[in-house]
Structure 1
Amino acid sequence: MKAIAFPRAICYFTADFFRGRPSRRRSNALSKEGIRAMLKSFRERTKAILWIVVLAFVISIFALWGMDLRTPERSRGESDVVGSVDGEDISYQTYQNALNQLWTQMKEERGEEYEPSEIERNMLADQAWELAVQGRLMSEEIRKLDISVSDEELVAFLRKNPHPQLVKTFSDEEGQFDYQSYLRALADPEVDWTELERWGRAVIPEVKFQTYLLSQAHVPESDVLDRFKERTTTMRAQYVEIPVPAADPSAEVPEPELRALYEEKKEGFKEPAMRRIRVIEIEKKASPADDEDAAARLADIRAEIAGGSIDFATAAEENSDDGATASKGGDLGFIKQGSMDPEFDRVAFSLRPGEISEPFKSARGWHIVKLEERRTAQGAAEARVRHVLVEVEPGADTIDSLSTFIRRVTETIRDDGFEQAASKLSLPVREIEPFAQGMFVKDIGFVPRIVSFAFGNKAGSTSFPIETASTVYFVKVVEEIPERTRPFEDVRERLLADARLARADAAAKARADAARKDMIANGFEAGARAHGLDIQTTPQFKRMDQIPGVGGNTAFSTACWLLPLGAVSPPVKGQGRYHIIKLVERSELDVAAYGQARAGLVDEMRNEIASRFMANWYQGIRDKAKIEDLREKRLQ
């Protein structure tokens, strides 16, 4: 297959993430030994680096979400494969590399101390899976197109696009990249740049391929002009409102009319495929020993405060498990008596200003409280307090014990079956109401791994343990419920209500049509008077504005946009009413302003088109691919 000829210019990254800036500043001089040490580190991180680069491009182009989200539980003896694309395996390491990089990006954005929620962890893991799938599909497309990398392209790419790690290495004390030192190192024959070359040869085809796809984006001049007009053209309109009356609840609707309405709306009565499961739940509960440890830890903190080695605010900042107040030195502000946990409330309002309580337990864990001041506001007693919270969490011994028990449950289910294992180990089994894909599971909540397993396996399948922050689940798929259309009898009352509402709407529409006919024949004002309609006038507005008195009615704005100046619109449907509109003012095109804004609009629209094109292209090849997600494997 003949290789595609790409202009050399597209071989270069344009993202600032990859662009170094030449500098005249003195850099930290690198010895050959230093470069070799750096390259050793570079070689060790090559796999992760390749994913960093791929992610930097793919994440920005595709906004793909879905499926199961967390790294699966893996036991000894399992294959090091998390899935496949068209028969090509995706290794656990590839998936984990993507997940680690996404995790690192989140930490960089939100701080090292940030702890993502259960939902965020799920989303990260699903993104990592999707990126692994993308990598496989894009590699196959590149192979089919026979995209190659010449030595000249490689050299030009490496010269103009130093790897981010090398940008840091060749930067001075002030963080300025020393481009000339980088070029001299590249030209040094004694330095082995094999790993850098391997990185470049892996990345350049990706860049060529994506740039080729993005180059398909074309923005017609008429679309650019329309975008400018939408954002700058101001309008003013007169209008009348014709309200839709309430539906008559006693109105009779013939059965054939209801049947016809059912056929018309039948698509909307489809219910998605559902699954019914039963689960064994093992709660991750702290032990009495964990409770004692938490109380002892808090007693030690209080002793340090009392001994003067640390003040209360610092102790809270360094030790409190209350994320909302720790950074504020545990300050809860003023609390009203009776507004907190009963025990917290009792202790806080029993203290004297400046006094620190003994450790006590609430529903959240163990606390110590310091009363700062009291006051009475609007007849209610209030206290300004600080607190240190130590939550009671499973300790190492408890976790080890739980892990041992989970292994025992796993083995018993494998040997004896789901129900028999539950009976043998005295574990309750819960029947869960049917649920659709992508939905919350009643009595369990948002646990995408459970949904993914249920929809990825046949009835009778049992999962490996699925862990959340508070619970470990074993899941058995009991029933696969296919998609269905609700029968006429089930939706008859809804159809009857819709038919009555449609009659009320038709009456309002007929009144609006009659009013408009008079407005055209006798003038807008005279027609409105003849039908007892009040004329209202909008302030100046643009097409995408919220219009006072009208709101965000897109149909109203669109009608004004399309109307000739002075023309009267047909009835325009709004929320519970019809509008008849007369456009009375429209601003002229500012040609000079358009000339200034045009380039920016073209770039903006090209990016939008390119993003849609890339997403549609990717979805197209993804839909054709055979993708197997094995992250949630069956136990039975």
Structure 2
Amino acid sequence: MLNFIRQGQRWIVTTLVALVGAVFILFFGPWDFSQTGGNASVPVEVDGIQYTIADVQRVRDGLERQYRDALGDRFDELSPQLQLQDRAVRQLVDRAILAAEAKRLGLAASSSEVERLIRGAFSDFRDEQGRIDEERARNYVVYEWGSVRRFKEEVASDVILRKMGRLLLGSAGASRAEARDALAYREEQVRIAFVSLDPSSPPDDLEVVPGDVEEFLRNEAQRVSDAYQADLERYQLPERMRLRHILIRTDDSDEETARAAAEAARARIEAGEDMASVAQELSDDEGSKELGGDLGLLPVSQVASALREAVADLEPGGLAPVTRGEQGFHVVRLEERRSAETRTLEEVGLEIADALYREEQGERWVKAKTEELAAEIAGGRSLEEAARTLGLNIERTSLFSRRPDGFIQDLGESVEAQTAAFSLTTDAPTWPEPIEVGPRTVFVQLLERRDPDPTGFEARVEQERERLEEAAQQRSEQAWLAARRTELQA
């Protein structure tokens, strides 16, 4: 707990414990304390170990801070899925189960242990002379825990739970040798070169003979039809409209002057002048002015709401009243309106056939180049030499470390490629087999291997040992809790 005071946090999610046996959660509905039975102010109780609604709220607030830091702007969107109230209660149940077992075993916290932990936790409350600002610390404790007594009880509980954790850990700790190996494994870096063969991006000079696509469409009509049906949504067109407009901005003139100019332009069009010519003369919309004010055929949803509403009741050719928009006044005419529709297979068949044909050509190209590259490498050439011989592009990464997801910058996620990269040596720098990375076929070659930075390495080893020991302790706690739940359910 106290480690998180330094970060403005009190708690961290570790396990989600099933509520069984001697664990009493007083609730009706998903942690709705307004509907509790029994002692509503104590929603969590295990063998006399109690946590109040205030405790639950404090844990929930801490979890929210953690997730806000981690998720940033996405927190509000994802917060309903996080079920923070539920997690807070379950975390306290976990803590209570461990505390109850520690109590049964007779584990206790001395006043000196509690005092030492408290003083170590309040480093942010020390003045320049290193003395704790007791008034500030007291105010903080009372605000967060309600009272100094309650805070000291929780610190004592932390001391006991640490002892319980060490007891559960037993001999499962981590040695410095294990930590040194783990740290070296994690901090080792490599830099590689790779060739990526992508069937969707064959070379520009890959030949597509005129007439081949038409022949493909005739021979593979069913395949084209299946592709059309599988991606039918792609060929659905929304309601669209084409507008022509003249914009008179209000930036450099007052509202009345701009409106009068727009009304005058509209009057000229009503009198028979060509609207395109008037737009080229007067419009302040540089994007459409040279096109005679033509905005093109657009989905209705992409048309500015002011213009969309102005022509809502018009037939094609209808001229709307002068309309106020965000940038000024518009003279707008509806040129064309099209209903939502689905393009037919006859309309898009050649387009689909072209894509399928090129995909097939790309796959043939990848297969041929894969065989050629593998043969060059088997013949003793490095990947770089083989790529130059075959005219293939070779890319190079910066130094990178191992990652659980296998992500390599510029290459993507591939545990197999990462494993290959760290398995290569300077004596045998080229991986002999192709590696599939999504739709691509990849060959890799080691360029550089760098050992961990020796500066401060031994200090980092100790930090790693503590991290491994903490992880082992959490696994031990998980195993013990699982066994305890089984006992309670029996």
TM norm structure 2: 0.46
Q: Which has the larger radius of gyration?
A: 2
User: Under a length normalisation based on structure 1, what TM-score does the superposition of the two structures give?
Assistant: 0.37
